[in-house]
Amino acid sequence: MNECKHPRVQIVSRDVDSEFVECQECGEIFESSEFKDMRIEETKLNNES
């Protein structure tokens, strides 16, 4: 199975310290800071190749 790149996300929960988003494609829920980190890593990998 191909790994989802989470192209569309929506906020599902937010509090003072954190915000959680859900991928509209695969349904995975994760902290928004993790999503930002995923984008940074993806950009690094694309620039290296």
Given this model, what pLDDT does residue 24 score? Answer: 92
Given this model, what pLDDT does residue 3 score? Answer: 79
Sheet of 29-31, strands arranged across: 9-14, 19-23, 29-31
Domain count within the chain = 1
In a domain? residue 1: no
In a domain? residue 4: no
| Secondary structure (3-state) at 1 | coil
| Structural domain harbouring 36 | 9-48
Query: Long-range contacts for 24-32 (Cβ within 8 Å, ≥24 apart)?
Result: 28/4
Walk along the chain (49 residues) and give the pLDDT tens digit of each residue.
567 888 888 999 998 888 999 999 999 998 988 776 666 666 656 676 6
In a domain? residue 39: yes
CB–CB of 11/23 below 8 Å? no
CA distance 34 to 38: 6
Number of Cβ within a 10 Å radius of residue 25: 12
In a domain? residue 3: no
In a domain? residue 15: yes
In a domain? residue 37: yes
In a domain? residue 21: yes
The pTM of the full predicted model, rounded to 2 decimals, is 0.67
